[in-house]
Structure 1
Amino acid sequence: MIRRTFLTLAAALLFSACFAADDFLSYEPKGEAKGKHVVLLAGDEEYRSEEAMPMLARLLSERHGFKTTVLFSVDAEGTVDPTAGGSLTNPAALDSADAIIMLLRFRNWDEATLGKFDAAVKRGIPIVALRTSTHAFSGIPKDSPYAAWNWNQDGGWGKKVLGETWVSHWGKHKFEACEGVIEEANATDPLLRGVTDVFGTSDVYEAYPPADAKILMRGRVLKGMTPDSGHADHVKPRATDKKEQPVNDPMMPIAWTRLVKNGAGTENKVLTTTMGAATDLTNESLRRLVVNGVYWGLGLEVPAQADVSLVGDYTPTAYGFKGYKQGVKVTDLK
């Protein structure tokens, strides 16, 4: 009877563990393992992070030997729901994260989840932040110790850590694409190895990283949505001082690095790019910048030409607030 009870309990625990794995994805390293765990956070309503993060996780695992885990926003039924701003599945994965890749927008996680994210950052792990991660948090209660992370509180977490918050669309949204232009002064930076013809259909953001940021790339606003559209030549009022400025003179920064001291006194190596929609990541050079960022952040030698060939099919959905696929379970994204 004791043995039967033990087996029943063991079976129940096994079922529970498998059930828990239904709301996140985990990939073991292939080939020569790097011994590092990269946690990817998907949670934005517009740019299809729920499609981009699994692709990057598979690539990092199979091509580069990293263990990867992808966490999602889900609804009460466990269906992927980018609009569920209070949700992050399996935040315990952050306890063992050696690096974070994030594409978040206006998240308001509960205190326990925010605490795990905060603890990971305070360990000094590197952060690769894409697109709307500059305004990752919103709606955190005023009495929370993390209320200052809200994007509209002096720029919030994005401004303090990444170096910028939400400012404006500098290119015309959905009409003017972005061409990446390497910052000549930093062209030999290891992060730019193998990074050449960066292009994305998401537009350029207005952005003013602080003086301690190292600009790697600027975004040329194009007249249309293809690489051969030609350069836009109109002017826009700057959100900071309302003075009009030609959109490409100077071009806005779209990728930069920082070394940031956090509240625990440790330092985080940070790579931020305001590109990173799932459709942008069909671009090989942009994927390579992200992969290079992981190597750089972890203190590993950045490959001369990192393998960023896709693992399996990747045909991402176009960005847009109403465009995410309905009824998708996390397990459907494996």
Structure 2
Amino acid sequence: MRAFHSNLVLSFYKAPREQTDDREYDQPCRESLLLMPETPMSLSAALTLLRQFTPHYLTCLSTVLLMVASNHAVANEVLHLNLRTRAQVAPGMNQYRETLETATWQADQTAIVICDMWNDHYCRNAARRVAEMAPRMNEVLNKARSQGVLIIHSPSGCMNQYEGTPQRKLAQQAPRFQTRLPLQGWCYRDEKQESVLPVKVDQPSDDDGTIRKAVRFFDRQIETLQIKKGDAITDSAEAFYLMQQRGIKNVIIMGVHTNMCVLGRPFGIRQLVYQGKNVVLMRDMTDSMYNPRDEPYVNHYTGNDLVFEHIERFWCPTVTSADILGGKPFRFPGDKRQHLVVVMAENEYETSRTLPAFALKHFGAFFKITCVYANADNRNDLPGIEVLNQADLAIWSIRRRTFPQRQLDVLRKYLADGKPLVALRTTSHAFSLREGQPAKGLQQWPDFDQQVLGGNYHDHYPNEAKTFVQPLQAAAGHPILDGIAPSEFRVFGSLYKNHPLATTAAPLMLGRVAAAEMAEPVAWTHQRPNRGRIFYTSLGHPQSFEVPQFQRLLRNATYWAAGLPSPPLSPRTASLTQTK
């Protein structure tokens, strides 16, 4: 099928007392309406449009003129999108895993809405980030436009700059339609449907440490984004009416700010989802209004990620510009974070609850954090483990799992590439069964403990025996022990038997129980031939996460493994030292 640039002129009589465009008519009157000037439109869509008018307010269709300019024909193409959403890890758990699925959208049934990409902002860093992503966004618009996608520019509060232009008229001339729910000027959060947003916003807020008065610094859309023939300009519900007029079913939203206008504007995510559109957010072509000096005290770009996860959970999937342009998604130049992937596949010590919160609090200022959870319905499945291929650093908490070869290969490759690992407690026996053989199609890795961790797990002391641990005097000065007093302290969970360690392991901390004949190593580093930094601790009981010395140990070890100095302990203080 082909789509054409067309001029469609309707001449009609309006019925008495019919309200249209905020006017009432006491007598039938003859009017002409120019619809969709110079815009891509299929013949079937045009006929559908005509049928929409008849039952609503046309009593007589006197003249229809459809002029097809074949020299402007564009292919009615298909968009192939990779939709990222969130799925609950298990019923009753407040953890959600990333899921991916593919979708195919007809280009001529799709619109892109660009939200508030203004030419300036009271937040200097917000304005800078708009300028940084605008060139890539313009490439997306050019490619999508050539495929037949409708482009709607929505720089709120700037309509006077575009008054009288064909693009502005296109939106203004869209007829009003009945809606499934009343259209709202601003769609506020409904607490019955959506939880509180994960980042705090206090206005005025500027994440570069200075504050300009929150006044209007903008007067138009940033000029990097080209407005071309066939595009539309609006900052109101006209966008929805235009979509209805054009038979648009699918909407890609981009622009700023994700946690404010992108969600709440009359052309934003909430409104369009309420009205039944298939909506996606292009997550690498948007930015949130968030200051790391505010809760949850994480890097600005980690704040973005939290907002994306919120939207994926409550509202709609996300995509990236790579779905339109190919290649890699856009990344802000100031986003210098390493990628930390936390893998959890054990039920005994609740690390699927303790580790994500710990990671966000202590590493959110410097790392992009992705959590991978075992399948709650199949203990030997790690959905989404492929993200480990993108990781710079990993934390593993796994116990006696046998995975399919393709998943185990991802874990093996990560280590073979010489990347650093922080391993907790049961990870010493992560990939070996206590007895028997794995089911068909599943694989063990029985020498993982000795080969990778430099350990020697062979049992543990009774659960009821109290465990006390103490840094080794010989290891004093190691950065992993920084800030941990040399005195003994209590931890929880049974003491593991790991003595003797491999000669390539360097113990940092010993543990004891009253009945033990000797102390056992409970934390050490291991130097592997490929130089990948390895840290292991047999600690990790849920109550140990409340012990300050253990928190400091795990925190220091993670930064050490990443090759970074451990920042100030206060999350707020750490967030202020992030790279912008």
**Same fold at TM > 0.5:** yes
Correspondence 1:214-229 to 2 at 5 A: 214-221=506-513
Q: Work out whether 1:40 is the aligned partner of 2:342.
A: yes
Aligned equivalent of 2:541, options 254, 270, 277: 277
Q: Which residue of 2 aligns with 1:132?
A: 426
Q: Work out whether 1:182 is the aligned partner of 2:471.
A: yes
Q: Offset of 1:9 from its aligned partner? A: 6.8
Aligned equivalent of 2:565, options 301, 313, 323: 301
Q: Which residue of 1 aligns with 2:370?
A: 69
Residue 114 and residue 8 in structure 1: after superposition, are their counterparts in 2 closer, same or farther (change >3 A)? farther
Aligned equivalent of 2:525, options 257, 260, 274: 257
Q: Which residue of 2 aligns with 1:292?
A: 556
Distance 2:536 2:548 in 1: 17
State the SS of the aligned residue for 1:176.
coil
Distance 1:257 1:20 in 2: 35
Distance 2:355 2:381 in 1: 16
Q: Which residue of 1 aligns with 2:450?
A: 159
Distance 2:77 2:345 in 1: 37
Correspondence 1:240-251 to 2 at 5 A: 247=516, 249-251=517-519
Give CA-to-partner distance per residue, 1:35-84, whole Å, 9 cap, x none. 2011111111311121122122212443x3211111111234xxxxxxx4
Q: Which residue of 2 aligns with 1:58?
A: 360
Q: Work out whether 1:94 is the aligned partner of 2:94.
A: no
State the SS of the aligned residue for 2:412.
helix
Which one scores higher on RCO, CA 8 angstroms, separation ≥ 6? 1
Q: Which residue of 1 aligns with 2:406?
A: 112
Distance 1:160 1:130 in 2: 16
Distance 1:17 1:161 in 2: 33
Q: Which residue of 2 aligns with 1:24?
A: 97
Q: Offset of 1:141 from its aligned partner? A: 5.0
Distance 1:119 1:184 in 2: 36
Residue 73 and residue 38 in structure 1: after superposition, are their counterparts in 2 closer, same or farther (change >3 A)? same
Distance 2:439 2:375 in 1: 24
Corresponding letter in the other structure for 1:72: Y
Q: Offset of 1:25 from its aligned partner? A: 6.1
Unmatched 5+ residue regions in structure 1?
A: 77-83, 151-155, 222-231, 235-246, 310-334
State the SS of the aligned residue for 1:164.
coil
State the SS of the aligned residue for 1:17.
strand
| Percent identity of equivalent pairs | 25
Aligned equivalent of 1:201, options 469, 481, 492: 492
Q: Offset of 1:183 from its aligned partner? A: 0.3
State the SS of the aligned residue for 2:403.
coil
Structure having the higher Rg: 2
- More deviation in 51-60 or 272-281? 51-60
Unmatched 5+ residue regions in structure 2?
A: 4-39, 43-74, 90-95, 100-197, 200-297, 301-333, 573-580
Residue 308 and residue 274 in structure 1: after superposition, are their counterparts in 2 closer, same or farther (change >3 A)? farther
Residue 257 and residue 108 in structure 1: after superposition, are their counterparts in 2 closer, same or farther (change >3 A)? same
Count of paired positions:
262
Corresponding letter in the other structure for 1:178: T
Q: Offset of 1:138 from its aligned partner? A: 2.4
In the alignment, is the contact (CA less than 8 A) between 1:105 and 1:133 conserved in 2?
A: yes
Structure 1 or 2: larger strand share? 2
Q: TM-score, normalised by structure 2?
A: 0.41
Distance 2:489 2:77 in 1: 55
Residue 278 and residue 33 in structure 1: after superposition, are their counterparts in 2 closer, same or farther (change >3 A)? farther
Corresponding letter in the other structure for 1:279: Q
Q: Offset of 1:127 from its aligned partner? A: 0.8
In the alignment, is the contact (CA less than 8 A) between 1:213 and 1:257 conserved in 2?
A: yes
Q: Which residue of 2 aligns with 1:331?
A: none
Q: Tell me the C-alpha RMSD between the 2 structures.
A: 3.4
In the alignment, is the contact (CA less than 8 A) between 2:402 and 2:442 conserved in 1?
A: no
Corresponding letter in the other structure for 1:159: Q
Q: Which residue of 2 aligns with 1:49?
A: 351
In the alignment, is the contact (CA less than 8 A) between 1:57 and 1:69 conserved in 2?
A: no
In the alignment, is the contact (CA less than 8 A) between 1:57 and 1:70 conserved in 2?
A: no
In the alignment, is the contact (CA less than 8 A) between 2:340 and 2:393 conserved in 1?
A: yes
State the SS of the aligned residue for 2:410.
helix
Distance 2:544 2:98 in 1: 22
Q: Which residue of 2 aligns with 1:329?
A: none
In the alignment, is the contact (CA less than 8 A) between 2:87 and 2:98 conserved in 1?
A: no
Distance 2:542 2:375 in 1: 18
